[in-house]
Structure 1
Amino acid sequence: MAATMPLVVGVDGSAPSLDAVDWAAREAVLHAVPLHLVHAAAPGQDASGPITTASERAEDGAAGLRLSTEVPRDDAVSALLRAGRKAFALVVGTRGRGGLTGLLLGSVGLAVAARADCPVVVVRGSREHRSGRFGRIVVGVEDGEESDTAVEYAFREAHVRRCELLAVHAWSAPPGALPEPPPGSWYALEAHRRPPAQVLDDALRGPAKRYPGTTVTRRVVEGPARQALLEAAAEADLLLVGAGERRGRPGLQLGVINHVLLHHAPCPVMVVPRT
């Protein structure tokens, strides 16, 4: 029987990384996968403290957790990317040691989110947003295929949590478009080929069949996607967004929306590579 891929979390001893450990431990038990703690350390550096603290924290917060640890002598980004090649997902905190405290995502987290082969979760927000208080998962749905895998993952997350899934699609009319374009106009032919509500219906149809019984709420918003998703995430336990592959280079193409959410979302954010 093949080994189950672990949920990998980066540890550095900082408060945000311990928040990530807490979140990841509960998530690992929820999905019945092992939790693997990775603490990258320079040669000769004593790494026992942070990994021991994180291990004790994980075991105290999640009964029945299958736990393993690793202390690679490497930089944090390389160590996490390597561990993520065979991971259920990678989990990081907002900022680690050496960075200013605050809302913004640190350089390690951003680099991991942009280059990982698996989904990456940045654990953000207040305690209530990290504890499953709201009973809601939010997923951003784009007009195209880039968010298809994110939608699939969102259904899975809502299914295991037995919570509501809120699917959000934001759209904007072309500049100068008429409120009611005349028949035969470009706007009528192109912009209305797939109405916003249909974009949501098409994206949700397949996963809804694979996860029957999931409570799904649809929200169509005319306006910037980043604003619509930030507002939806204000009462959510997890926000999921997709990311496409970078053309001609390894890694993901994190656009403006991804960056805004990774730096400012009020709840944990999962970036899901399109597969």
Structure 2
Amino acid sequence: MATPRPAGGLVVAGYDGSPASQRALAWAAAVTHALGDALKIVHAVRLVPSRQGYAVRPLSPSLETVAETLVGAPSMWAGRPLARSRVRAVHAFGGPAEELVDASMTADLVVLGTRGHGRARSALMGSVSSAVAAHAYCPVVVLHERERHESSAVHEVPVPGPGREVVCALTPGDDEEHTARIERIVSSAATVASGCSAPLRLVTVRPATGAPKTPGTKGVSYAVGSLAVRHPGLRVTVETLHGDPVVTLARSTRAAGLLVIGAPHEGGVGAVLAGSPAHRIVHDASCPVMLVH
């Protein structure tokens, strides 16, 4: 079994009452329990017109109900209960992207849902997740709402574990900046895999035969070599696949608990419509996707 990291970290989950945010919260709660971290649930409050001026738009289920559910483990929450002292729910008066980015300054992981479906619809409804992924100070995990996939219940989300691997997608490259980025991506993937007792698969996708030659894999080799020291019990495999990166990764991670990739440097509507590989993977993957700078 992999040696877990010391407990004491913080996972932040964005919540707005939508099915997508409920799936994200279920995933965050399960991983929080596995890592021994604390969970902070953030609801960015939206004000709506009322007879008295403005009022807070109600949530269903409410933020308070959700927090009690996670510590009490009733039927609607199938996971293990979290310690009451490790769960905090807060209302934040501001835009959801700005509030989650602010929360990421003290977090180890931010988890949120996205409701985008088509490419243009993703730009309008998924711009929050795009902006958070681009500007957060820690890795960000994005989950789609359940109707996109076969799962029929909010708590039936693919969570890393002995039967669900963590897949880490790496791009070849030998310069120092790229090597450092690969190291951060692999380290983030290994932390979750180790804490959840999940196997880790490192994947490099190369173009099909006939495409221009890609750079070397010095950064990948260095990152793999450091895993044995930091996570001695972690099961690690290395694989090279060929084809279109987005299509290949989406196809090969259908049964995974998490796909880890490099984060884009820009967020918002324009970035999603531009169709960067990272945004395409988030849109097309059926498992949760972690984005790491």
1:6 to 1, 10, 22: 10
Structure 1 position 38 matched with structure 2 position 42: yes
* CA spacing shift, 1:108–1:231, aligned 2, 3 Å: same
For the aligned residue pairs, the C-alpha RMSD in angstroms reads 3.1
Contact 1:80 1:112 in 2 (8 A): yes
> What is the CA-CA distance between 1:29 and the residue it aligns to?
1.3
Q: Show the counterpart of 1:181.
A: none
For 1:75, the aligned partner's letter is: G
The answer on whether the counterparts of 1:92 and 1:121 sit within 8 Å (CA) in structure 2 is yes
The aligned runs of 1:87-166 (5 Å cut-off) are: 87-95=107-115, 104=122, 106-124=126-144, 126=151, 127=156, 129-130=158-159, 132=161, 134-144=163-173, 145=178, 146-166=181-201
Aligned position for 1:54: 66
Aligned to 1:250: none
Shift of 1:269: 0.6
Task: Indicate the SS of the match to 2:172.
Answer: coil
Give the drift of 1:224.
2.1
Identity %: 30
Shift of 1:241: 0.8
Aligned partners of 2:136, 2:254: CA distance in 1, in Å?
A: 26
Q: Distance in 2 between matches of 1:73 and 1:257?
A: 33
The correspondence for 1:220, drawn from 225, 236, 240, is 240
| TM-aligned CA distance change 1:4 to 1:158, over 3 Å | closer
Distance 1:37 1:128, change over 3 A: closer
Partner of 2:81: 63
- Tell me the amino acid that sits aligned with residue 155 of structure 1: A
Larger CA deviation: 139-148 vs 18-27: 139-148
Distance 1:118 1:47 in 2: 29
The one-letter amino acid of 1:30's match is A
| 1:172 maps onto 2:172 in alignment | no
Aligned residues: 247
Residue 164 of structure 2 aligns with an amino acid whose one-letter code is G
Q: Name the CA distance, whole Å, in 2 between partners of 1:140 and 1:9.
A: 24
Q: TM-score, normalised by structure 1?
A: 0.78
Q: 1:33 to 1:101 in 2, by over 3 A?
A: farther
Matched to 1:264, the amino acid is D
Q: Which consecutive residues of structure 1, in runs of 5 or more, have no partner in the other structure?
A: 178-186, 247-253
Match of 2:29 in 1: 25
Unaligned residue ranges in structure 2 (runs of 5+): 1-6, 48-54, 74-78, 267-273
Larger radius of gyration: 1
Contact residue 23 and residue 131 of structure 1 kept, 8 A:
no
Contact 1:172 / 1:224 at 8 angstroms: preserved in 2?
Answer: yes
**Using the alignment, how far apart are the partners of 1:45 and 1:233 within structure 2?**
39
The farther-off stretch of 262-271 and 37-46 is 37-46
User: Which 10-residue stretch deviates more, 215-224 or 168-177?
Assistant: 168-177
C-alpha displacement of 1:173: 7.1
User: Once structures 1 and 2 are overlaid, which stretch shifts more, 22-31 or 125-134?
Assistant: 125-134
CA contact (8 A) 2:142 2:289 kept: yes
How far apart are 1:237 and its partner, in Å?
0.6
- Tell whether the 8 Å contact from 2:161 to 2:257 is kept in structure 1 after alignment: yes
**Cα 1:100–1:214, aligned 2, differ >3 Å: closer, same or farther?**
closer
Distance 1:245 1:261 in 2: 15
